[in-house]
Chain A
């Protein structure tokens, strides 16, 4: 799970996945801008077949926050 999230994030941020960890947050990653945020949500929803409620999208700050939705 974690690896897949990192892989998805890395492709959106156009970064080397080895430079990302699940602990990374929006403040630390320059490429994690508002567009990247929306793209990330869209990609995670599709790849894992889950839905992240609109209200909670603003509460995602770290990559690990996605784990809440994908680990069921």
Chain B
């Protein structure tokens, strides 16, 4: 991913710091005309960080208001002309050392900072590709004395201290990482001395440390942060050595509990080794062990999990529990940092519970077919529209198991494909009687002369095993043959995660035309097409 850093002050040192993690870092030319190349050439990188120093923006400017308008117009233009690029613009801090009497109090700088932030917030709510880079909060949290360096300013026109540049660089790296890597999915939590203070079985349900103020607030605040993580789509689970009855009592009786029983997608309350419980949770949720973070105050339990499940992330628990808030914030930044929440994220926990109900129904059904019939599935299929971009990117970037070719297209590449007349991107959303599964399927077709190539076929693992792919592909095959294409080409490219779809095309009756260790190529002609399972109703939109 290419990163651009633009600023009205010298951030060359910062660029060097970022480039030690990501090779492709470009810095904008000139300081006074930071926007010049952006206006002239547009953003050439995938993501642009515009970091602006508030004081320098308005240095020696006589008509501050019109200059302010001018800057905002420029930013708005850059954002709207580079829709496929992500643009981060900083909030500003206007700091000037000035001698004045106590009585003579000037609030114009604060007003300007506020106006600036307000405009950024407007752009933020109007543009999916725009984000606020909160420089002002960074400055406030470490203090101006630690953020600005007079010496470096006079020496080299560098405004910020070394440690301040490190902070900015860390945030940039974190943001870019979020765009490139999948975040973790689930936090598995211990109970006693983790979600509350004290051992519940000893002190009783009402006497655990958990309260709005004083000692118990350490844990209540921690629970509030966990609840916020849950709202971002992180699954929460419990793994505790305890008696199950006691735990139910806490949820029922203790009014201070921020987290409710239904906030947890799994509860393993027993005396088995925690590693065993965690692997069971991974299996039930159908997620990899490497997408689990385990939080426990006991070093013995942490060690047991680290030893037996090395893929699970086990952060050190703070010795000083007044630091629990900072601890969970670090966990968020490190493993769950989220740029923008999708609709799917908000419903994650509910969707999981719908799934539990489905599993129960499945157990009650005599056969898989009977169960699938009873699910009453509605599969909505449509050609991708611009408003689907965020979810489509998420599917392409983050789906590992049901992913035939694992081509990790970026958001920008998906836009190009969407606009390419020789390509089509299909998406599908699946509803059933237990709820909405959201947008779970994506297929990219490329037309190459007389044949259609299935470039990518991706499905979220939560709807695997329901023959949804059969229903969709069958419709598309008929359509392609009707449109006059002579053959359909499919492909499987092996990764260490996509074994579940290794033989998908074989099952769909395609002929293998090429095969080596890492790759299989398939073909289907009209004559060879077989009858498919038709489960659920296919609705074209």
User: Hey, which bits of chain A sit against chain B, CB under 8 A?
Assistant: 11-12, 14, 34-35, 37-39, 41-43, 45-46, 54, 57
Residue of B nearest to A35 (CB): B12
Residues of chain B in range 325-349 having any CB-CB distance to chain A below 8 Å: none
Residues of chain B in range 345-394 having any CB-CB distance to chain A below 8 Å: none
Residue of A nearest to B156 (CB): A38
Q: Which residue, A14, A35, A57, has most C-beta atoms of chain B within 10 A?
A: A35
Residues of chain B in range 136-161 having any CB-CB distance to chain A below 8 Å: 149, 151-152, 154-156, 158, 161
CB distance from B158 to the nearest CB of A (A): 6
Q: Which residue, B12, B155, B158, B163, has most C-beta atoms of chain A within 10 A?
A: B155
CB distance from A49 to the nearest CB of B (A): 12
Q: Which residue, A12, A34, A39, A42, has most C-beta atoms of chain B within 10 A?
A: A42
9 A-B pairs besides A14-B20, A35-B156 with CB distance below 8 A are: A14-B16, A35-B12, A35-B13, A38-B158, A42-B13, A42-B152, A42-B158, A45-B162, A54-B151
Residues of chain B in range 404-445 having any CB-CB distance to chain A below 8 Å: none
B149 contact set on A, CB distance < 8 A: 42
Q: What is the bound-complex CA distance between A45 and B152, given in angstroms?
A: 11
Q: What is the bound-complex CA distance between A8 and B155, given in angstroms?
A: 19
> Provided the pairs A39-B13, A42-B149, A54-B151 are in contact, do residues A34 and B162 lie with their beta carbons within 8 angstroms?
no
Residue of B nearest to A34 (CB): B156
B161 contact set on A, CB distance < 8 A: 42, 46
B158 contact set on A, CB distance < 8 A: 38, 42
Lowest 9 A-B CB distances belong to which pairs?
A: A42-B162, A38-B156, A39-B13, A46-B162, A35-B12, A38-B155, A43-B162, A42-B152, A54-B151
**CB–CB A41/B155 < 8 A:** yes
Q: Which residue, B149, B156, B158, B161, has most C-beta atoms of chain A within 10 A?
A: B156
**CB–CB A38/B154 < 8 A:** no
Q: What is the bound-complex CA distance between A54 and B408, given in angstroms?
A: 50
A34 contact set on B, CB distance < 8 A: 156
B151 contact set on A, CB distance < 8 A: 41, 54
Question: Which range contains the number of B residues in contact with the other chain?
Answer: 10 to 19
Candidates A14, A38, A45, A57; contact of B13 at CB < 8 Å: A38
Q: What is the bound-complex CA distance between A35 and B20, given in angstroms?
A: 16
B162 contact set on A, CB distance < 8 A: 39, 42-43, 45-46
CB distance from A8 to the nearest CB of B (A): 10
CB distance from B10 to the nearest CB of A (A): 8
CB distance from A33 to the nearest CB of B (A): 10
Q: Mark B118-152, 1 if CB is under 8 A from A, else 0.
A: 00000000000000000000000000000001011
Please, could you name 24 A-B residue pairs with CB atoms under 8 Å apart, sorted by A?
A11-B20, A12-B16, A14-B16, A34-B156, A35-B13, A35-B16, A35-B156, A38-B13, A38-B156, A38-B158, A39-B16, A41-B151, A41-B152, A42-B13, A42-B149, A42-B152, A43-B162, A45-B162, A46-B161, A46-B162, A46-B163, A54-B151, A54-B154, A54-B155
Q: What is the bound-complex CA distance between A11 and B155, given in angstroms?
A: 21
CB distance from B152 to the nearest CB of A (A): 6
A46 contact set on B, CB distance < 8 A: 161-163
Candidates B12, B16, B20, B155; contact of A57 at CB < 8 Å: B155
Q: What is the bound-complex CA distance between A6 and B396, given in angstroms?
A: 44
Q: What is the bound-complex CA distance between A12 and B20, given in angstroms?
A: 10
Residue of B nearest to A33 (CB): B12
CB distance from B423 to the nearest CB of A (A): 41
Q: Mark B1-25, 1 if CB is under 8 A from A, else 0.
A: 0000000000011001000100000
Residue of A nearest to B157 (CB): A38
A35 contact set on B, CB distance < 8 A: 12-13, 16, 156
Q: What is the bound-complex CA distance between A12 and B154, given in angstroms?
A: 20
Residue of B nearest to A38 (CB): B156
B13 contact set on A, CB distance < 8 A: 35, 38-39, 42
Q: What is the bound-complex CA distance between A34 and B13, given in angstroms?
A: 11
Q: Which residue, B12, B16, B161, B162, has most C-beta atoms of chain A within 10 A?
A: B162
Q: What is the bound-complex CA distance between A42 and B13, given in angstroms?
A: 11
Q: What is the bound-complex CA distance between A38 and B160, given in angstroms?
A: 12
B155 contact set on A, CB distance < 8 A: 38, 41, 54, 57
A37 contact set on B, CB distance < 8 A: 156
CB distance from A61 to the nearest CB of B (A): 16
Residue of A nearest to B19 (CB): A14
CB distance from A7 to the nearest CB of B (A): 14
Q: What is the bound-complex CA distance between A39 and B158, given in angstroms?
A: 9
Q: What is the bound-complex CA distance between A17 and B423, given in angstroms?
A: 51
Q: Mark B147-184, 1 if CB is under 8 A from A, else 0.
A: 00101101110100111000000000000000000000
**CB–CB A38/B152 < 8 A:** yes
Q: Mark B298-342, 1 if CB is under 8 A from A, else 0.
A: 000000000000000000000000000000000000000000000
Residues of chain B in range 18-48 having any CB-CB distance to chain A below 8 Å: 20
Q: What is the bound-complex CA distance between A46 and B142, given in angstroms?
A: 15
Q: What is the bound-complex CA distance between A11 and B492, given in angstroms?
A: 43
Q: What is the bound-complex CA distance between A39 and B163, given in angstroms?
A: 11
